[in-house]
Chain A
C-alpha cells in the first residue's frame, strides 16, 4: 500500500514515515502544501495523510485540488485544531476521516487500514474469500484455518489483491505501490513473488486464488464472503 504523508513538522513526518514503513506501507512524504499537491497528483497512491495546517498551501486547499483533479484515493486529515468547524470543512473538501493531534500512532494506522478496506469495499478488518482469510490488523493469513507464513512483500501483494478482490491489477500498478519512487522497478520480481505466493496459498493447486490475465495483470479470483458496498 502506498501512502503519502503531508506534514510540515519534520520530527512528526519522519516518525510517521518510519512507523508506516514498519507497518508495511510504502511511504512518500511532502513538507508543504505544494509538494503534497504535486505528490498527490503524480504518484500512484492508495491513501494520503494530510495535515490541515500546512505552509504555502493549506491542507484544505490541497484536498480540494486533489479531488478537483479526480484523485479518488482516501484522505485522512491530521489536525491540531480539533473543532467541528474544521472537521466539517475538511470532510466537505473531500477528506474521508480525521485524527486530532497529538495522536496515538495506532489510531492513525487503524484509521488508514479502515479507509483502505472501505475503498476496496470491505466492511470488516478481516478479508475473507472462501478458505483464505487475511487479517489486516494482525497482518496474518489463514488458509482453511491453518496459518500461512508470508514474507513482507508477499503479504503486501496479497493484501493489495484481496482488498480489491475481483478487480484486475496491473503489474506496473503493483510495482508502483509496493516500492518507493526511487526503487528500481522490475516486473519480473512481481512475477516471482506471485509465483511464490500461489505455491504457499495453494500447495495442492486446487483453489487457484490468483488469476493471471495475459498482458493485463493479476486478479484475486475467489469470491468475497463479506462484501458490504
Chain B
C-alpha cells in the first residue's frame, strides 16, 4: 500500500466488484423468476389439455383418446410426461415408457401442487391436480392428474444467461479498471516527475526542481526550491560565521602566545592557550562539518581532490623521500560537501605522510552494490610503523594522541571519525599489506 496509484486502484475496484456482484445477483434472480413463471404456464396449459382430453373408459378409468393426445406425450422420452391416477386405475402417457417415473402421492379433491423430482437421470417439474368429474361412474374416486416437464432446457437457458451475464460483467469491469489505470497514470504523472526530480536533486544531478507543474503541485515545487536555496545559503552562512569565529579567536591567541616570555613553551598559560586552540579547532570544525549531503549539491570527484592534496603534501614533505600513489577510479564520487572530503582526506593523508617511511597510497572506488551511505570506498595506507591494536580505538577518540610527539595527530583523526559518523559512514583501522596503518572508509557515494 505504499503507492498512491495502487491505493486508488484498490479503493475503486472493490466497490466496483461489489456493485457488479449485486447487479449480477439481482438480474439472475429476476431471470430465474421469469423462467419459473413460463414453466408454470407451460405446465398449466399441459394440465388443462390433459384434463380436457380425459375420457371415461369402459373399465371405469380415465384416459385421453390417442387421437387427442399431444404428440409429445406419445413420443417416448420426449421430455413431456403425464399420468392419470385413481385408487384403482393408472394411466401413463406413452412417453414414460422405460422411464422410472414417480409422480408422487395421490391427492384428495381440490388439492394441487408443484414439485421437483427426478425421473431416472432427468430433472423434472411435476404439477399434480386432484379432480372429481361429475359424470364419474365410480363416483367417490378422485382422479389425480399429473403433468411433468423435463427441466434441462430451462436449466441450460439459465446457465447460458448466467454465463453471458458473467462474461459481460467481467469484461466490462476489466475495461473499466484498465481505463482507470490509464487515467491514474495520466493524473499522477506530475507526481512521478516530482519524485524523479527530487531523486535527481538528492543525487546531486540537479540543484532544483523544474517548472511546469500543475497548479496543485506548482506551489509545492516552488516552496521546495525556495527551501533548497535557503538551506544552502543558511549552511554557507553558518560555516562562514564559524570560520570567521575561529579565525578571529585564533589571531588573539597567537598574539597572547607570542607575548609570553620565552614564547611560553613551558608556561602554564602557554598550555592553556594550546588547550583553547585545540577546543576551537575541534569544536568549530565539528560544527562546521555539514554532516551529510546537502540537497542539490553536486557530487565531488575524489580524483580532483586527491590530486590537489597530493601536490600540496609533496610540497610540505619535500624533505622526505616520499611517493604518494593514487589509485582513484574516475567513477569514485562523494555525495556531500567538498570541504568535508578535503578535510577528511587531508587529515588522513597528512597523517600517513607523517608516519610513513616512503610510501603512501590512496585507493578510491565506487561500490554500486553497497547502500547509498556506503557507496564510496576509500583506503589510505602507508609503510610506516602502523598503529597497535590498543591504540586504534584510542586514536579515534577525541583529541587523544597515540604519540604525543607529533602535534595535531589525535585531533585530526578524531575529526575524521566525527565526520564519518556525521555522514553515517564507517571507519576501520587495521594493518596494510605495505606494513603500516590502513584506514578504510565508507562514505556516501554515487
Residues of A whose CB lies within 8 Å of any CB of B are 9, 11-12, 15-16, 19, 53, 80-85, 87-88, 91-92, 95-98, 100-106, 114, 118, 123
- Cβ-defined contact, B273 with A102, below 8 A: yes
Interface 0/1 of B234-257, CB less than 8 Å to A: 000000000100111011011111
Give the nearest-CB partner of A125 in chain B. B319
- Cβ-defined contact, B251 with A106, below 8 A: no
The contact sample of 29 A-B pairs, CB cut-off 8 A, is A9-B251, A12-B255, A15-B259, A16-B258, A19-B258, A19-B263, A53-B251, A80-B246, A80-B247, A81-B246, A83-B243, A84-B312, A84-B345, A85-B342, A88-B308, A88-B309, A88-B311, A88-B312, A91-B311, A95-B315, A100-B250, A101-B253, A101-B254, A102-B250, A102-B251, A102-B253, A102-B255, A102-B256, A102-B277
Q: Kindly provide the distance from the CB of A110 to the nearest chain B CB, expressed in whole angstroms.
A: 11
- Cβ-defined contact, B346 with A101, below 8 A: no
- Cβ-defined contact, A88 with B251, below 8 A: no
Residues of B whose CB lies within 8 Å of any CB of A are 243, 246-248, 250-251, 253-259, 263, 265, 273, 277, 281, 285, 308-309, 311-312, 315-316, 318-319, 338-339, 342-343, 345-347, 350
- Cβ-defined contact, B263 with A106, below 8 A: yes
Determine the chain B residues whose CB is within 8 A of the CB of A88 once the complex forms: 308-309, 311-312, 342, 346
Tell me which of B247, B319, B339, B342 contacts A123 (CB under 8 A).
B319
- Cβ-defined contact, B312 with A92, below 8 A: yes
Determine the chain B residues whose CB is within 8 A of the CB of A53 once the complex forms: 247, 251
Q: Kindly provide the distance from the CB of A87 to the nearest chain B CB, expressed in whole angstroms.
A: 6
Interface centre among B251, B257, B281, B311 (most CB of A within 10 A): B251
Q: Kindly provide the distance from the CB of A24 to the nearest chain B CB, expressed in whole angstroms.
A: 16
Give the nearest-CB partner of A95 in chain B. B315
- Cβ-defined contact, B250 with A92, below 8 A: no
- Cβ-defined contact, A80 with B254, below 8 A: yes
- Cβ-defined contact, B346 with A81, below 8 A: no
Interface centre among A12, A92, A102 (most CB of B within 10 A): A102
- Cβ-defined contact, B315 with A9, below 8 A: no
- Cβ-defined contact, A12 with B251, below 8 A: yes
Q: Which 3 A-B pairs have the closest CB atoms?
A: A84-B346, A102-B254, A15-B258
Tell me which of B254, B316, B342 contacts A98 (CB under 8 A).
B316
Give the nearest-CB partner of A9 in chain B. B251
- Cβ-defined contact, A87 with B346, below 8 A: yes
- Cβ-defined contact, B285 with A118, below 8 A: no
Known: A96-B318, A97-B316, A123-B319. A82 touches B281 (CB 8 A): yes
Tell me which of A80, A96, A100, A105 contacts B315 (CB under 8 A).
A96
- Cβ-defined contact, A12 with B247, below 8 A: no
Determine the chain A residues whose CB is within 8 A of the CB of B265 once the complex forms: 104, 106
